[in-house]
Amino acid sequence: MEQEKEIKAKERYTGTVLKTTLQGALVDIGSEIPAFIHISQVVKDGDPKTQINSIEEVLEKGQKLDFWVKRVRKDRIELTMKEPLALEWREIKPDMTIKGTVVRLETFGAFVEIGAERPGLIHISELSHSYVRTPGEVVREGDEVEAKVLEVNRRKKQIKLSIKALQELPETLQVQQEPEPAQQQEEPQEPELTAMEIALRNAMEKSEKGKKDEASKKSRKNKRSSAEQEELLSRTLENKVGKDS
């Protein structure tokens, strides 16, 4: 017995309408699990925006149509007549590589259709490592390109792409960007002194030392003198108090 093929989301099947209800229709797509399409997923005249009041406006028993798998559950398969996006927002991640078609050029960059809800934008600075004056110098509408996802902002519905991120940096730019090796600076060596210079240096050092010693002695002398004055004043006050008493 041939094993049944695993049914996955976004896969396309030709199904036969088995039964219609107020909420939708049962469809046979060759699966053991029942397949059901809700009325909100039914498309009339190929326009997903057209409002449908009754399922019978589009589907009838025995009719064969193309359906896509919207979701696979344990007890049923949910179908849709709206062709699913190749890339859902949750599937688009930074650093992933994607392929797309250039659909519009602007002065600031190129818009690329990648199968998502919104086209991705390749800013002019991300088209090439070289200087680009206008996007038309690198790409044209209809071109198939490969790009790297730089950033995804679901709230703002923005997808930022880059072509140059997938290209090797030209050797000329590599040379310009590589920092030059730091030159090792030799430690300055003290010049050799003559005998006269050595004697003069020693004399200056002794002179400085003598000045420091003299200043230190003077400081100690001043402290001693101040202490003697305080002692003399203290004795004078004591004698005066004794006489008064």
Class of domain 89-167: mainly beta
Which residues in the chain come in under a pLDDT of 50? 1-2, 183-190
Model pLDDT, residue 11: 94
pTM: 0.58
Residue with tokens 């003559």: 194
Query: Do the beta carbons of residue 103 and residue 118 sit within 8 Å?
Result: no
CA 5 – CA 12 distance, rounded (Å): 13
The domains spanning 12-80 and 89-167 adopt the same CATH topology:
yes
* pLDDT tens figures, 199-230: 777 777 777 766 666 666 666 666 666 666 66
Q: Six-digit token pair at 138?
A: 């690198």
Model pLDDT, residue 187: 44
| Helix (H), strand (E) at residue 179 | none
Class of domain 12-80: mainly beta
Domain boundaries, the chain: 12-80, 89-167
- Residue 65: other Cβ atoms inside 10 A: 18
